[in-house]
Amino acid sequence: MSIIYTNELLRVEVEESEIPWLKVFTQEAYKEFSEVPMALKLEIFRVLDIIEKEMLSFYKPQKINIASFGNYVPHVHWHIMARFEEDSYFPEPMWGTKQRVGAYRLERFALFIKNIQELLK
């Protein structure tokens, strides 16, 4: 786990993957989104919006996927992923059936992370 941003309400982590994939966790554990206080909900949406816009601008993906499950980890969190036709799973979700040997190569990820950190300040 690599935490790239944190504040009193949430943290952003990198999910090691062939694609740009970040996770947003609440600092306090909530099982369901409906339990989350409104101020935290607004912060979550602010962070997701910043990450999605930077993924779109920086990587120009085919699609952005945002998911919230928590079946294995009952702690409110979101996955945000830039998806490409060349990735191993597209158009399936990253948890789905692998479709091919991926041809997508994740480049300039350190710069992307630096941009996200600056934008989240």
Q: What is the pLDDT of residue 31?
A: 93
- CA angle, 114 then 23 then 43, to 5°: 85
Q: Is 98 a residue whose pLDDT tops 70?
A: yes
Structure tokens of 81?
A: 């992923």
pLDDT tens per residue across span 61-77? 999 999 998 777 778 89
Higher pLDDT, 52 or 95: 52
Domains of the chain by range and CATH? 2-120 (3.30.428.10)
* Count of Cβ atoms closer than 10 Å to residue 111 Cβ: 10
Residue 56 has pLDDT above 90, yes or no: yes
Strand partners, 84: none
Is residue 1's pLDDT more than 80?
no
Structure confidence at residue 32 as a pLDDT band (50, 70, 90): very high
pLDDT of residue 114: 98
Pairing of strands 63-67, 10-14: unpaired
